[in-house]
Every structure is written in structure tokens, then in C-alpha cells.
């Protein structure tokens, strides 16, 4: 996804030996001879010197304006700064940074209690102070005030599961750091943030835009099975039909999808949910095959329903969990990011997303965050959940990893000339 703006540092050094009338190494006669007018060689030397000087000055001026303009003339980097032709922003590492976290979860009213680890008793704060740094380029810092101005009159929509809701909450808190009156930011229906609510929308009154979340964990339609099905089939996922609320996602300016955490045997087969295509049950279909078919249905919907001249579409990949133990029921939160990726990276899901998006006929950006999260076993909720009896090595504390996802979203938009 990541193209890059080149930012090369070039230095031009011009050195020459000054020659003067009183130089002890050059006689006066010799000096006068060198300056004889009409000498072809002398003219070439002078021309060469002048051309070299002009080129050196042009290089200095070019580099100055190139760097200045690449930052929008105001210190706000309008694209990735890079030393490489292509920079994969998802290949990198987490580095400590004094400017993080970017917001205080205790004063942001849109962080649900279950994700606010500090409020739930976490004492260490080192997990808050890490910034994602790609290997070959720099991601621009999130400038809330300037992004708020660019979002005037627009609509941002998140669609997916609880991980999508976490990113939604993160973005609202990031943006609120640039708002002068916090009371001007409110949930449009007066709803509290809960795990099962299907729609949440936060309006920024001073800038006239909304940030919305639609709960659609599979993206496709879930409903009752055909009447002729076996008794163990309590419901089905209709892999060839989009979720019934799909019309509400249209006409957005930024549209961010995710799906993956619910595509497991525990959340499907163990509760009697199987797959359906048309009127036929697909009882033996593997989960990965069903996920691919659902993604192809989603891709067709994007192609036919979304005006990508207006709407920027993103799909975020599966986020790794860090459950451990023989039954994958132990959750050990570390103190620092790990040096090597760990946890369940579910690479087959990421591969399917990349393959399906690679065939789509309209622009879609894949946020390949899977490996980014694989280093962050320190950033999970762990025992600092609400209620505290819930152990969680899947979701992330806020502030935390989802903030980096949002930084990459807006860095990508700016790179692509978003206005």
C-alpha cells in the first residue's frame, strides 16, 4: 500500500584555490597571462566555473523547496518521508517515544471502561509510550487540529467487530485533543458504548462531521437456516448476501472494514451457526473457504455500491492475540514489546484479504496490521478489564495499538493527495 515520497539529502561541495596578484606561488605575469581575453581555454574554464556554481545553487534551492513543500509548508508532513523508492509501512518496529500517549483515556468520554486499563488498575505505564516506526520511512505525527479541518462536513464509517469499535474509540479520542469545547462532541442518539449495540455515531459539532461504528462481525448476512436443515443448525451465515444494514455504510467519505475474530469454530459451529449459499447449506465448508467467499461478496458490493471517487475504502487485517498455555486460555501480559513477533497471527486470513483485494476493480487500501500487533503482548487488556473477572489477551488497552492504525489511515490518505 505504501508508496513513498523521496527525501534525499544531497550536499554539493565546491572547492577551489584562490589565485591572487600577490600570491607567492603565482607571478604577476602569469596571472595576467591567465586572464588574457580571447583565449579559448580561459573562456571554457570561466564558463565551466559559472555553470558549476549555478547548478550547485539550483540543487540547494530545489532541495529546500522540495522538503518544505513535502511538509505542506507548515511543518505538517503531507506524506511518508522516505529514503527508498517503496516503503512498506507495516514492516518496522516499536520504538519508545516521549510524545506518547497521544491522549489521556481518563478524560476522553468515548473510551469504554473495558478498554481503559489505567482506570481498571494497571500500574505500569510503559506500554503507553511506544510509537510504530517503519523500517524505511517515517509516518507523520497525527496532527489533530489539521485533520479536524480536513474532515469538515465529512463522514467516517467503521464496520466490523469489537476491534473495529476499539479503533473507532481511538480515533475519536485522538481527534478530541484538537477540540476546544469537549461538550461539542456527542453521541448522536445519547447512547452509551456497549459491546452489543449495532450503531454508534459521534458528531463533532464545531466541524460538522460524524465518526460512526456499525457492528457487523461477519460483514455478510446472518439469519435463520432453511427449514429442511438438520437440527444442529440453529442459524446460518449467508455467504452470498451482505449484512442487512449495508445500505447505511454507503455515502461515507472514509470507510474502514475489518472481520476475522468471529471466524472460529467456537463462535460458529459450537453455537450451531453454519454456512449457506443461496438455498443450500454448506455443512462441510472449511472456515477459511467461507471467509474467502464472504470477502468476495464484500468485494462485489464495494465495486457496485461505493463511489470510490468520493469514498476512500480500507480493510484492516486480523489482529493477533497472545493467548498461551495448552488450552490457549492463559494470558500473560509482558512489560515491553517483544523482539520477535509472537501469538496467533492467523496469516491465512491476511493472505485471503490480500488476494481478494488484489483482484478488486476499484481502489481499496489494505491495512496490514497483523505483524505490527504480534510484537505487542504488553498492550493487551489482560486482567485490567471490566469486570475484572474477564481475562483478555485479544483486545487492546487504550491508548495503545489502535492509535497506530489510525495514524496509518491518515498518513495513507495524505500520501494519496487527500483534500
Tens of pLDDT, residues 319-340: 888 988 877 789 999 999 999 9
pLDDT of residue 380: 97
Tens of pLDDT, residues 13-40: 323 333 333 333 333 333 333 344 455 5
- The Cα diameter of the chain in Å comes to 112
Alpha carbons 256 and 262: distance in angstroms, whole number:
17
Alpha carbons 175 and 191: distance in angstroms, whole number:
20
Query: Which residues, in sequence order, are bridge partners of residue 58?
Result: none
Residue whose C-alpha is closest to residue 218's, from 233, 235, 230: 235
Alpha carbons 136 and 8: distance in angstroms, whole number:
12
pLDDT of residue 58: 60
Alpha carbons 402 and 90: distance in angstroms, whole number:
14
For residue 257, what is its C-alpha cell?
472494514
What percent of the chain lies above the pLDDT cut of 70? 80
Question: β-pairing, 312-316 with 254-258?
Answer: parallel
Q: What's the Rg (C-alpha) of the chain?
A: 28
pLDDT over threshold 80, residue 215: yes
Q: Which of 179-183, 271-275, 341-345 has the lowest mean pLDDT?
A: 341-345
Query: Which residues, in sequence order, are bridge partners of residue 313?
Result: 255, 364
Backbone angles phi, psi at 305, to 5 degrees: -110, -20
Tens of pLDDT, residues 144-178: 999 999 999 999 999 999 999 999 999 999 999 99
Higher pLDDT pick, 297 / 137: 297
Tens of pLDDT, residues 53-65: 767 666 544 443 3
pLDDT of residue 320: 87
Please identify which residue in the block is written with the cell numbers 469499535.
165
Where would I find the H helices in 231-369? 287-305, 347-359
Enumerate the active-site residues. 162, 392, 395
pLDDT of residue 23: 37
Q: How far is CA 342 from CA 339, 345, 400, in A?
A: 9, 8, 17
Task: Give 223's DSSP letter.
Answer: E
Confidence tier at 123 by pLDDT (50, 70, 90): very high
* Helix, coil or strand: residue 380: strand
pLDDT over threshold 50, residue 79: no
Where would I find the H helices in 306-400? 347-359, 370-374
What's the predicted TM-score (pTM) here?
0.80
Q: Which helix (H) or strand (E) holds 323?
A: strand 323-324
**For the chain, what is the mean pLDDT?**
84
pLDDT of residue 42: 65
Alpha carbons 224 and 308: distance in angstroms, whole number:
33
For residue 43, what is its C-alpha cell?
573562456
Confidence tier at 258 by pLDDT (50, 70, 90): very high
Residues sharing a CB contact under 8 Å with residue 359, sequence separation 6 or more, in sequence order: 299
pLDDT over threshold 80, residue 253: yes
Amino acid at each position: 500500500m505504501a508508496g513513498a515520497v523521496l527525501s534525499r539529502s544531497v550536499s554539493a561541495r565546491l572547492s577551489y584555490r584562490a589565485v591572487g596578484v600577490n600570491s607567492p606561488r603565482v607571478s604577476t605575469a602569469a596571472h595576467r597571462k591567465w586572464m588574457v581575453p580571447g583565449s579559448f581555454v580561459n573562456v571554457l574554464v570561466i564558463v565551466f566555473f559559472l555553470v558549476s556554481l549555478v547548478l550547485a545553487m539550483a540543487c540547494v534551492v530545489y532541495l529546500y523547496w522540495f522538503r518544505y513543500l513535502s511538509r505542506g509548508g507548515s511543518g505538517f508532513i503531507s506524506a511518508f518521508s522516505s529514503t527508498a523508492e517503496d516503503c512498506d509501512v507495516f514492516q518496522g518496529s516499536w520504538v519508545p517515544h516521549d510524545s506518547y500517549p497521544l491522549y489521556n483515556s481518563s478524560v476522553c468520554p468515548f473510551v469504554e471502561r473495558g478498554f481503559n486499563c489505567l482506570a481498571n488498575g494497571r500500574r505500569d505505564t510503559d506500554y503507553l509510550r511506544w510509537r510504530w516506526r517503519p523500517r524505511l520511512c517515517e509516518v507523520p505525527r497525527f496532527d489533530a487540529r489539521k485533520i479536524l479541518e480536513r474532515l469538515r462536513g465529512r463522514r467516517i464509517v467503521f464496520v466490523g467487530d469489537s476491534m473495529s469499535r476499539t479503533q473507532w474509540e481511538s480515533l475519536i479520542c485522538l481527534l478530541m485533543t484538537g477540540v476546544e469545547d469537549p461538550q461539542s462532541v456527542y453521541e448522536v442518539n445519547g447512547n452509551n458504548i456497549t459491546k452489543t449495540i449495532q450503531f454508534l455515531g459521534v458528531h463533532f459539532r464545531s466541524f460538522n462531521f460524524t465518526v460512526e461504528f456499525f457492528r457487523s462481525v461477519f460483514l455478510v448476512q446472518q439469519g435463520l437456516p432453511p427449514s429442511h436443515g438438520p437440527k444442529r443448525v440453529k442459524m446460518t451465515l449467508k455467504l452470498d448476501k451482505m449484512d442487512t444494514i449495508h445500505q447505511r455504510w454507503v455515502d461515507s467519505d472514509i470507510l474502514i472494514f475489518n472481520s476475522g475474530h468471529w471466524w472460529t469454530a467456537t463462535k460458529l459451529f459450537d453455537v450451531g451457526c453454519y454456512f449457506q449459499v443461496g438455498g443450500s447449506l454448506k455443512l462441510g465448508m472449511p472456515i477459511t473457504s467461507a471467509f474467502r467467499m464472504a470477502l468476495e461478496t464484500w468485494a462485489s458490493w464495494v465495486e457496485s455500491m461505493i463511489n470510490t471517487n468520493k469514498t476512500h475504502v480500507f480493510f484492516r487485517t486480523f489482529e493477533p492475540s497472545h493467548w498461551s498455555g495448552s488450552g490457549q486460555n492463559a494470558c500473560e501480559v509482558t512489560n515491553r514489546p517483544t523482539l520477535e513477533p509472537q501469538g496467533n497471527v492467523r496469516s491465512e486470513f491476511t493472505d485471503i484479504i490480500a488476494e481478494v483485494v488484489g483482484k478488486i476493480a476499484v481502489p481499496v487500501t489494505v491495512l496490514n496490521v497483523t505483524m505490527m500487533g504480534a510484537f505487542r503482548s504488553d498492550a493487551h487488556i489482560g486482567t485490567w478489564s471490566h469486570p475484572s473477572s474477564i481475562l483478555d489477551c485479544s483486545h487492546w488497552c487504550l491508548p495503545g495499538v489502535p492509535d497506530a492504525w489510525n495514524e496509518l489511515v491518515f498518513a495513507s490518505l495524505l500520501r494519496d493527495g487527500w483534500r
